[in-house]
Amino acid sequence: MTGPGASPAQAHPFEDGLGQRPANHVPLSPVSFLARAAASLGDHVAVIDGARRLTYAELHARCRRLASALERSGIGRLDTVAILAGNTPEMIEAHFAVPMRGAVLNPLNTRLDPATLAVSLDHGAARVLIVDADCAALAGEALARLGRRPLVVTAGEAALPGAVAYEDLLAEGDPDHEPAGPADEWQSLCLLYTSGTTGDPKGAVYSHRGAYLQALGNALAFGLAPDSVYLWTLPMFHCNGWSYPWAVVAAGGTQVCLRKVEPAAIFHLIAAHGVTHLCGAPIVLTMIANAPPEARVPFAHTVRCATGGAAPPSTVLRSMEELGFRVSHLYGATESYGPATMCLPQPDWADLPAEQRYARMARQGAALATLEALRVADPATLEPVPRDGTTVGEILLRGNTVMKGYLRNPAATEGALGDGWYRSGDLAVWHPDGSVEIKDRAKDIIISGGENISSLELEEVLTQHPAVMLAAVVAKPDPIWGETPCAFLELKPGAAVTAPEILDFCRARLARFKVPKAVLFGALPKTSTGKIQKFVLRARARAE
C-alpha cells in the first residue's frame, strides 16, 4: 500500500531488531589468529630460528610490544611500515604487529636493486623501514636516494646512521597493549609490489578481510593443524608468503625460518624438526630434486609441498615423490593474495600410468573454498568456454581474496578489475571436473604460420632431456612464419649437450612446426621468487 494514509514500512521479521552488535559482528582480521593461538596454545612453539624458539605467548607479547612502540612513535592508521628482511622472526612479527596498529605493511623484495627499492619506498610513502642485518647495505643505498628519511629500525647487527635497534624499540612497547583492530574489515592491510615478470611492477593493496579469508583457505586446502611444521622456503615478501604467516598461526602450527634456500639446509631442517609442509616456486623443487647425494638427509615421513608458477616438469615430480615429497600444484597471483586454486589428487589417479598421473598433477586445479568464483572465459566476451579440456580461454577470478586494487594507479586497477572479474592474462582450458589447466600467458603463446604453439608444452618436453635443468621458450620474430619458438636452456651441473642434439630430441616428441628453430644455453634470468623473466628472454631472442 502506498500513498496518503499508508502505514510505515515494516521491517522483515528476520531483520527487525536483529542488527549488528559488538557481540555478533567483528571486522575480520588475521590479527585475531594470534590472540586465539596465544590463549589456547601459549606454550606451544610458534617460531624456530636456528637455536632460538618463540612460544605463542612470547610471539603475542612481542607483537603487542611492537604495535605499542609504533603507536608511541607516531605511526597512525594507514601509515605505511615497510620491512626489508628475509624469512626471519621479525618478518613474522611484522605481519601481526603492523596491522595491530592499523598501519599498512609493505614487505620489500630483498633482491631488488637500490633504485627500485627507493621508488617503492617513495611510492608507498613508508614512514618506517625495518631492516634486517643481511639487508643493511642494500637499505643504506636505497635510503640515500630518497628525498626524505623514514624512521629506520634495524634488526640484528645492522649498522645504519640514525637507526633505532629493533629490540630497543620493542622494549619501549607495552606487552599488554590491546589493539583496537581495523575500523572496517575493508581497511587496507598490506601493500605488495608485483614481482616484475612483466617488467612493470605495481602496488597491489590487500584488505584485512581478504587476508583473513585467504589464510583460512590456505590452511584448509593444505591441511594445516597444530602439529604442522611449516618450513619457510618461500620468500615472505612475496604475496605475504602466500598468506602463510597468518595461515600457520590460524592452525596453531610451528614456523621454521630459513634465510637462504639451499638444498642441504632444507633436508637438514626437515629431518631435524619434522617439517610437514613447505611451499616454493618450481625452481625450489628443481633444486631439491637435483640436490647432490651429499646434501640429502633421509627422513621417514611425507612432506607436503605446494608449488606455483609454471607446472613442474614430470621429471621433477617423479624425483620429488621418490625423495618423500607429495607435491600439490597451485595457481594464483599477487593480485589474488597468492594461491587461488589448488590441484588435489583424486583417488582414481593412483591407478593411472605414471605420465598420465603427472599430467593430472600438473593441472592448476579448482578454486580454494574462500574464492567466490573461477571462470575460464573467452577474452573478448567473458563468456565461459566449454569444459572440454580443449577450448582455450582466459582465467578470471572473483571474490573477497582479490586485491582492492593498485595503489595510486586507477587506470591499471580498472584494467584488472573493471569487467567485474580479475583478468589474469593467463590462458587455460577447463576440464569436465572443473579443474583448470594453464596453457600459457596470453603474451607467451607463439603464433607460427597461423598455428598456436604453447611454450609450456615445449618446455615440458625440453626438461625431459637428461641434461636440461630449466627451459624457457619464447617467440622469436620470423620474416616468413611471423614467429618461431626460441628455446633457452639452463643445464644441470656438469651436463653437456649440443643444440642439434636438443633439436633431434624434440623432433622425436613434437609436431615438426612446434620444434624450436633456435636453442641458446646459459643461466636463465629469474625474479626474486624464481620465476623466469620471459620479457628479458624475448628481448634476447629479438636481438639474435
Distances (CA, A) of 22 to 25, 27, 32, 335, 402: 6, 10, 15, 32, 27
Among 281-290, 347-356, 473-482, 532-541, the least confident range: 473-482
Distance CA(497)–CA(507), nearest Å, equals 16
Residues 329-340 have pLDDT tens digits of 999 989 999 999
Q: Which residue has the higher pLDDT, 508 or 483?
A: 508
pLDDT of residue 196: 46
Instruction: Decide if pLDDT at 153 tops 80.
Output: yes
**Mean pLDDT, to the nearest integer, of 463-476?**
93
Which top CATH class is 445-543? alpha beta
What percent of the chain clears pLDDT 70, i.e. is strictly above it? 95
Per-residue pLDDT tens for 232-275? 999 999 999 999 999 999 999 999 999 999 999 999 999 999 99
- As a whole number, mean pLDDT of residues 503-510 equals 91
Q: Say what the pLDDT of residue 283 is.
A: 80
- Give the pLDDT score at 200: 57
Q: pLDDT tier at 454 (50, 70, 90 boundaries)?
A: confident
pLDDT at site 526: 85
Answer positive or negative: Cα dihedral of 318, 319, 321, 325. negative
The pLDDT, as a whole number, for residue 531 is 77
Do the Cβ atoms of 222 and 243 come closer than 8 Å? no
pLDDT digits 0-9 by tens, 373-395: 999 999 999 999 999 999 999 99
Residue 438: the pLDDT is: 85
Nearby residues of 413 by Cβ (< 8 Å), 6 or more positions away: 405, 406
Q: Which residue has the cell 610490544?
A: 65
Q: What is the mean pLDDT of residues 115-124?
A: 92
Residues forming CATH 3.30.300.30 domain(s) in the chain: 445-543
Mean pLDDT (the chain) is: 92
User: Distance (Å, rounded) from C-alpha 102 to C-alpha 207?
Assistant: 11
Euclidean distance between CA atoms 208 and 485, whole angstroms: 44
CA–CA gap between residue 40 and residue 63 (Å, rounded): 17
For β-strands 80-84 and 104-107, DSSP reports them as parallel
CATH of domain 261-442: 3.40.50.12780
Confidence of residue 510 (pLDDT cuts 50, 70, 90): confident
Query: Above 60 in pLDDT, residue 4?
Result: no
Interatomic CA distance for residues 526 and 283, integer angstroms:
10
* pLDDT for position 450: 56
DSSP 10: P
The DSSP secondary-structure symbol of 376 reads E
Segment 456-476 mean pLDDT: 91
Taking CA atoms, 302 is separated from 270, 286, 320, in Å, by 10, 18, 11
Which pLDDT value is given to residue 442? 66
20: left (phi over 0), alpha (psi -120 to 50) or beta: beta
When pLDDT is averaged across residues 509-533 and rounded to a whole number, the result is 85
**Residues of each domain in the chain carrying CATH 3.40.50.12780:** 31-213, 261-442
As its CATH architecture, domain 31-213 has 3-Layer(aba) Sandwich (3.40)
| 10-58 per-position pLDDT tens digit | 889 999 999 999 999 999 999 999 999 999 999 999 999 999 999 999 9
In angstroms, rounded to a whole number, what is the distance separating the alpha carbons of residues 223 and 375?
Answer: 25
Residue 198's pLDDT band (boundaries 50, 70, 90)?
very low
CA distances from 364 to 307, 349, 430 (A): 10, 15, 10
Shortest CA distance to 193 belongs to which of 261, 247, 117?
117
Q: What does the pLDDT look like over 276-309, one tens digit per residue? A: 999 998 888 989 999 999 999 999 999 999 998 6
199: pLDDT strictly greater than 70: no
pLDDT value for 344 = 84
Q: What percent of the chain has pLDDT over 90?
A: 76
Give the per-residue pLDDT at 415. Answer: 94
pLDDT of residue 491: 95
